[in-house]
Structure 1
Amino acid sequence: MTIDPKSLRNADGLYPDDIAHILENANPEKKKMLTTIGKLVVSNTRYDEGQKWLEDVFQEYGTRHEATAGLFYGISGVGKSTILKRFAKKLGGPFPTVSGRISRPVARVVTPSNTDLGAIYDEILIALDAPDLIIGKLNDKKHAVMTQLCLQDVKLVLFDEFTHVVEDRSEKFTKKLMRAVKGIVSENVCQVVLAGTEDLPAVHQQYSQMRRRSGGDLTLTPFDWEEDRDRKEWREILEQVEYAMPIKPATSLPAKATAERLHKASNGVLDHLMKLLFRATAVAYDEGNSAIAGQDLWQAFERMRRGKNKTPNPWPQPEGRTSKPRLLAPMDDEPSNLRSTGRNARNEDDL
């Protein structure tokens, strides 16, 4: 699985405050080190499973009388968006055709928070590179969407962050939106995947008519330390991560005791693991340490768990530390691009 720098962002597309602050104020050497962590390539069976499931959904296009809609869900940080992005990048095109038209087999749509149906249609048209068609009333946008899906030969639409329609809006709105999605499926325009958190199955409870269109679901889960295969793969992942880290750990990451601590600290979620190691690398660099020690990981965990998270720190508190470390210097009043909610900021490829 490729973990790119944007994977350090939260589900809202923003970096956590302290990570944003670190990136803003890092000198070139430090920033290069931290960017290295954000570009690690990690072997991951869950990534492979997700890619295979999406491939199966994609290949079902045109083989049935009716198109289907599958759910792809799991807790935040298990890698859903990374899997969707890379699948769309691999098969999404756009590809030129002999007729001179554009073929876009896969389109990934990011569901905005506190959305409405018009905004969903807008996002679909943006994903289809047709923003100039975002005009007129709701029915005009619907017609533009359905037309473009056919013209561009879209076989699969991936709705990322779809749980927003359950979490942010009423049940009445969810039913209305699901009817619109059902319209795309019912007209056999293309296959649909709805991706989101573990609350996503509620869309079937709130709009049961979609269940019969289900082509099967996939749940991504964190790594379970009590499962032999998961524990073995977790340690293999840590071995790959350690090899690529710009500042090596004082104690080998895949060593059983350290691997278990890292699992406890991250709950077996790769996103949490990478953010923890990102912070620990920043701490070690600032302290002038040649290796990442237990005290660096302790401090990184304290930064990660601030707020209501009362999970015990897996590393012993360093001697002389009687309270949590001070996280950040006061932030400047000038807004940071790293905290921008604008589309351009969310789509940046650089740090």
Structure 2
Amino acid sequence: MNADAVLIPANDRSHWANASLSQRLEKFQGIFVKHKAIKKVADFVEAELVLRKVEMKANGVLVIAGSGSGKTSFVNFLKRQYPDVDTPTRSTRPVVCFKVPAVPSPSSMGSALLKALGDPLYDRGTWEDKKDRAENLLLKAGTIIIAIDDFQDVPSRRKARGVEHIANWIRDLCDFKFPGLVFALGTEQAAVVRDAHDQLRRRMQARFELPVFSMASETDIKNYLSLLELVDRGLPLAEHSELKSMRLARPLLAATNGILDYLMKLMARALVRAVQRGSERIEKVDLELGFEDLHQVAAVAGNPFAADWNGEALTGPGQIFELRQDEPDDANLKKASRRGQRATKAG
């Protein structure tokens, strides 16, 4: 889910009692859950940009996150914090984003950057030809953040020498005279690129992780319940739904495998069900029906909000997190599933 607004705790929620479903959904789509890990990155960015402005040179930041862990929401948050400004005399673009090209190379990465900066001739020339244009455009646009998504695709698509070339390209980018940060966002494989170049490793020492949530330890439980509380506070309903109660927290973990994006998609559908039922809070029945709405046939094979749920993670045949024999190397899914199993068997 693309979330854009900072979540602010609400003390008085009574005004939602008269709101339409469309108004509520519009509000929900704008929620940005600023959980502990996100806040840590955001606080770092705010302080580091002051230092970058003083030193007038860039630094790199590595953000490790799996699919659905909130990368897109975080980038959208940065765009809101540092929005584009258009005036009759000047247009600025403080945050520039692009994805790793299908065939990553210094030239194609340069083209992607120039395209994101609005250069109509973004695909002309070699990387060396594009360097001056890119640096000039970054300064002209007032860019302070470059966010490169899907960074894990570099080592998966290039051999060692190619990875080293991309690492050198990122190092060159950090050497541009723009007072900002270069974000490399991706799975754990993204670190392979950074570590392929000694100078880049020194320029990209800052590393953050957007987690898959679990209940495997006391700290994990605390962070997960805090997340649910933040989501609960942001729901456009007149009453608190007590999402962090264990009767809901455990099945919510099983239903989402601890992935934030899955959680928000489920909550959107549960919100619809609750409002249709005339309720100002989400109950277990809304989550059960919302899970069915979201997963259809797969929900028949296992719904953690149904009365017959056995407390197991949903990794069996036909279930939403089924472990397939043709995907034996999907380590992230297996780890998430084991966390889910430990969580749902706990207590």
TM over 0.5: yes
Q: Of 197, 203, 207, which aligns to 2:187?
A: 197
Distance in 2 of aligned mates of 1:188 and 1:273: 41
Distance in 2 of aligned mates of 1:66 and 1:3: 30
In structure 2, relative to structure 1, the CA distance for the partners of 1:61 and 1:166 (3 Å cut) is same
Name the counterpart of 2:155: 166
Letter in 2 for 1:88: K
SS state of the match for residue 206, structure 2? Answer: coil
Distance in 1 of aligned mates of 2:65 and 2:261: 13
Distance in 2 of aligned mates of 1:109 and 1:57: 19
Per-residue deviation at 1:274?
0.9
Letter in 1 for 2:76: K
Per-residue deviation at 1:90?
2.4
Alignment of 1:4-43 (within 5 A): 4=4, 34-40=25-31, 42=33
Name the counterpart of 1:80: 71
Distance in 2 of aligned mates of 1:303 and 1:73: 31
Q: Tell me whether 1:71 sits opposite 2:59 in the alignment.
A: no
Identity %: 20
SS state of the match for residue 314, structure 1? Answer: coil
Query: 1:112–1:120: 8 Å Cα contact kept in structure 2?
Result: yes
Query: 2:32–2:77: 8 Å Cα contact kept in structure 1?
Result: no
Aligned residues: 289
Distance in 2 of aligned mates of 1:65 and 1:204: 22
In structure 2, relative to structure 1, the CA distance for the partners of 1:217 and 1:324 (3 Å cut) is closer
Q: Tell me whether 1:3 sits opposite 2:15 in the alignment.
A: no
Q: Tell me whether 1:220 sits opposite 2:210 in the alignment.
A: yes
Show structure 2 runs of 5+ residues with no match: 6-19, 310-316, 320-347
Distance in 1 of aligned mates of 2:91 and 2:274: 49
Name the counterpart of 1:233: 226
Per-residue deviation at 1:238?
4.2
Name the counterpart of 2:170: 181
Name the counterpart of 2:330: none
Distance in 2 of aligned mates of 1:201 and 1:172: 15
Distance in 2 of aligned mates of 1:50 and 1:257: 31
Query: 1:238–1:254: 8 Å Cα contact kept in structure 2?
Result: no
Q: Of 97, 119, 124, which aligns to 1:109?
A: 97
Letter in 2 for 1:84: V
Per-residue deviation at 1:208?
4.2
Alignment of 1:254-273 (within 5 A): 254-273=244-263
Per-residue deviation at 1:38?
1.6
Show structure 1 runs of 5+ residues with no match: 6-28, 326-351
Per-residue deviation at 1:258?
1.0
Query: 2:60–2:204: 8 Å Cα contact kept in structure 1?
Result: yes
Distance in 2 of aligned mates of 1:318 and 1:30: 31
Query: 1:175–1:206: 8 Å Cα contact kept in structure 2?
Result: yes
Distance in 1 of aligned mates of 2:91 and 2:31: 33
Distance in 1 of aligned mates of 2:292 and 2:157: 30
SS state of the match for residue 47, structure 2? Answer: helix
Query: 1:114–1:165: 8 Å Cα contact kept in structure 2?
Result: no
Distance in 2 of aligned mates of 1:307 and 1:32: 30
Per-residue deviation at 1:233?
1.3
Distance in 2 of aligned mates of 1:210 and 1:43: 29
Per-residue deviation at 1:111?
1.0
Name the counterpart of 2:131: 142
SS state of the match for residue 52, structure 2? Answer: coil
SS state of the match for residue 131, structure 1? Answer: coil
Distance in 2 of aligned mates of 1:113 and 1:303: 35
Distance in 2 of aligned mates of 1:209 and 1:159: 19
Q: Deviations over 1:289-309 (max 9, x none)?
A: 445654553354356568999
Per-residue deviation at 1:196?
1.9
In structure 2, relative to structure 1, the CA distance for the partners of 1:213 and 1:43 (3 Å cut) is closer
Name the counterpart of 1:46: 37
Letter in 2 for 1:116: P
In structure 2, relative to structure 1, the CA distance for the partners of 1:153 and 1:278 (3 Å cut) is closer
